[in-house]
Amino acid sequence: MKTSQQLERDGVVLLKGCMPDEALKDVRPQYDHLDQSLTRTEISKDQPLIVFWRHVIGSQKRIGHFSEFPALWNLITEYIVPKLRAVFPERTQRLQLLETIIFNKPAEISNTLNWHQDVAYFPLKPNNQLAVWIPFEMVTAERGAMVYALGSHKFGIRGSTDLHTRKVFDGEDREVIPDDPRTIGLDVQCMEMSPNDMLVHDGYTWHYSGPNVIKGYTRRGLSVRFITEEAKFDPRPGQGAAFTKQIAISPGDVVQGAPFPLL
Ligand SMILES: O=C(O)CCC(=O)C(=O)O
């Protein structure tokens, strides 16, 4: 089966060994340097943002910019986008950068990021997203690997919940993801990965990540999300993704401009 068909069937594909060592070589040290000094929390409306998110309850998201993290911009434009276009030509004719997040799970104190579907948090219509996820180091089940419910993207839009507690947001009236998707017959797969691997998932696919319980071991994962069709702003309750604060438009307007470049 072609990789692109696998994405249509499962809603997620693990591409083994597709990122050369040089792709990430400068990304890790630039991340660590910024992670130590970054204090910015305000969200700018004139450029794409990079969310620094520690999976520790009470930790506040911080905001980086590509001007201070050029190796990450290089990784996205020189490696990730060409790879996506080579493997999924049908899905990648239009790739618009929506948001970039680095999820950091410090050893022993990090928690679970519960089952969710990315697009449930996006105020977009149509709401078609393709996301990549790349670890900066090896990830195993004990080190917070990503876990997916295969085929769950075919169930359509679900409700958004608090990612740490699973509490349903006020005003949310959409059906939520079950506590265990296996109870409705879906296969669940834990994606153990090396740093040369890349996951690609559909925005509708359900996924979660457990805590990193290995002492002395960091777990950093990069997620880059792209919208694949021109989308209009369509807000509703429970859509708290950081990029929504970059939108200075009215419902029905097209999401475009400097924070959301076409690549
Ligand atoms: O890195 C993680 O643990 C979570 C990532 C995730 O849920 C996402 O990229 O949507």
- Ligand 1 pocket member 203 (CB < 6 A): no
- Ligand 1 pocket member 207 (CB < 6 A): yes
Nearest CA to ligand 1 atom 3: 209
pLDDT of residue 238: 64
- Ligand 1 pocket member 113 (CB < 6 A): yes
Domain-embedded: residue 170: yes
- Ligand 1 pocket member 228 (CB < 6 A): no
- Which CATH number belongs to the domain containing residue 182 in this structure? 2.60.120.620
Domain-embedded: residue 75: yes
Domain-embedded: residue 126: yes
Domain-embedded: residue 123: yes
Nearest CA to ligand 1 atom 9: 223
Domain-embedded: residue 258: no
By C-alpha distance, which of 70, 124, 116 is closest to 96? 124
pLDDT of residue 1: 87
Name the burial class of residue 200, with classes exposed (0-12), middle (13-18) and buried (19+) by CB atoms within 10 angstroms of its CB: buried
Q: Are 101 and 197 in contact (CB under 8 A)?
A: no
pLDDT of residue 239: 67
C-alpha span between 223 and 30 (Å, rounded): 16
Q: How far is the CA of 118 from the centre of ligand 1 (A)?
A: 9
By C-alpha distance, which of 254, 210, 215, 214 is closest to 234? 254
Domain-embedded: residue 113: yes
pLDDT of residue 241: 66
- CA dihedral angle for residue 166, residue 172, residue 177, residue 180, rounded to 10 degrees: 40
Nearest CA to ligand 1 atom 4: 209
- Ligand 1 pocket member 225 (CB < 6 A): no
- Ligand 1 pocket member 220 (CB < 6 A): no
C-alpha span between 224 and 232 (Å, rounded): 20
As for how many domains the chain has, the answer is 1
User: What's the pTM?
Assistant: 0.95
- Ligand 1 pocket member 222 (CB < 6 A): no
Q: How far is the CA of 238 from the centre of ligand 1 (A)?
A: 18
- Tens place of pLDDT per residue across the chain (263 aa): 899 999 999 999 999 999 999 999 999 999 999 999 999 999 888 999 999 999 888 889 999 999 999 999 999 999 999 999 999 999 999 999 999 999 999 888 878 889 999 999 999 999 999 999 999 999 999 999 999 999 999 999 999 898 888 999 888 889 999 999 999 999 999 999 999 999 999 999 999 999 999 899 999 999 999 999 999 999 877 666 677 777 777 889 899 999 999 99
Nearest CA to ligand 1 atom 10: 118
pLDDT of residue 254: 92
- Ligand 1 pocket member 211 (CB < 6 A): no
Domain-embedded: residue 220: yes
- Ligand 1 pocket member 223 (CB < 6 A): yes
Domain-embedded: residue 255: no
Q: Which atom of ligand 1 is nearest to the CA of 118?
A: 10
Q: Which domain holds residue 130?
A: 3-242
Mind spelling out the 3-state secondary structure of the chain?
Answer: CCHHHHHHHHCEEEECCCCCHHHHHCHHHHHHHHHHHCCCCCCCCCCCEEEEEECCCCCCCEEEEHHHCHHHHHHHHHHHHHHHHHHCCCCCCCCEEEEEEEEEECCCCCCCEEEEEHHHHCCEECCCEEEEEEECCCECCCECCEEEECCHHHHCCCCCECCCCCCECCCCCCCCCCCCHHHHCCCEEEECECCCCEEEEECCCEEEECCECCCCCCEEEEEEEEECCCCEECCCCCCCCHHHHHCCCCCCCECCCCCCCEC
- Ligand 1 pocket member 103 (CB < 6 A): yes
Question: End-to-end distance of the chain based on CA atoms, in angstroms?
Answer: 28
- Ligand 1 pocket member 133 (CB < 6 A): yes
